[in-house]
Amino acid sequence: MLNVALTGNAGAGKSSVLALFAAWGATVIDADQLARAAVAPGSPALAAIFRRFGRDLEQPDGSLDRATLRRRVLADDEQRAVLNAIVHPEVARVSAELTEAARRRGDPILVADIPLLFEVADPGAFDVVVLVDAPETVRRERLMRERDFTWEEAGDLLGAQLPSHLKRDESDIVIDNDRSRDALEARAREAWRTLQERAAVGARG
């Protein structure tokens, strides 16, 4: 099995590429979905967040007010590190279980979407690292348009991540997402062919 990490800074378009890879046959693991599941009502991680950051983050249905928590930790490195220490171990545990299940099934290509691969994970644990990238101004505009961030919130989030030019140097494949949807799909398709070739080589030993 070819174990692939898909990463990129906020607003780069990782989710779009992940959806394309899934449509083309990849087994996918979405770290954002795992993070949401990790803080579901009744979970130990959510209880820890309420203890550390306050019960005012609890919504009437018992779920987490993610937007308020995001604003609270974005510009505070220490608070963000505390939050990561609560959520990331559970995400890593479930991701490892899903990876092992895919390996046992003999799935040819597994793609794990890991936004903070270079910040908090180990790129060396994967066979291939795929980076989705776009100019910072484009990413900031996307965050404001698609996720209702303010200019300042988008800047705080982007500033909390390693600059993408450093990640480009450490990635095996870079997909630039600075043009149209059709252009992104064409570049993603080229990357997918490369992954298929790598997987085929690995299968042949």
- What's the pTM value of the predicted model, to 2 decimals? 0.90
- The one-letter code for the residue type at 86 is I
For 96-136, how does the pLDDT look when each residue is reduced to its tens digit (9 = 90+)? 999 999 999 999 999 999 998 998 889 999 999 999 999 99
Architecture category of domain 2-204 in CATH = 3-Layer(aba) Sandwich (3.40)
Q: Is pLDDT of 205 > 70? A: no
Q: Which of 99, 90, 94 is nearest to 28 (CA)?
A: 99
Token pair for residue 184?
Answer: 């992104």
Q: Which of 14, 57, 5 is nearest to 146 (CA)?
A: 14
The predicted model gives 198-203 an average pLDDT of: 88
**In the chain, what are the domain boundaries?**
2-204
For 150-197, how does the pLDDT look when each residue is reduced to its tens digit (9 = 90+)? 998 899 899 889 999 999 999 999 999 999 999 999 999 999 999 999
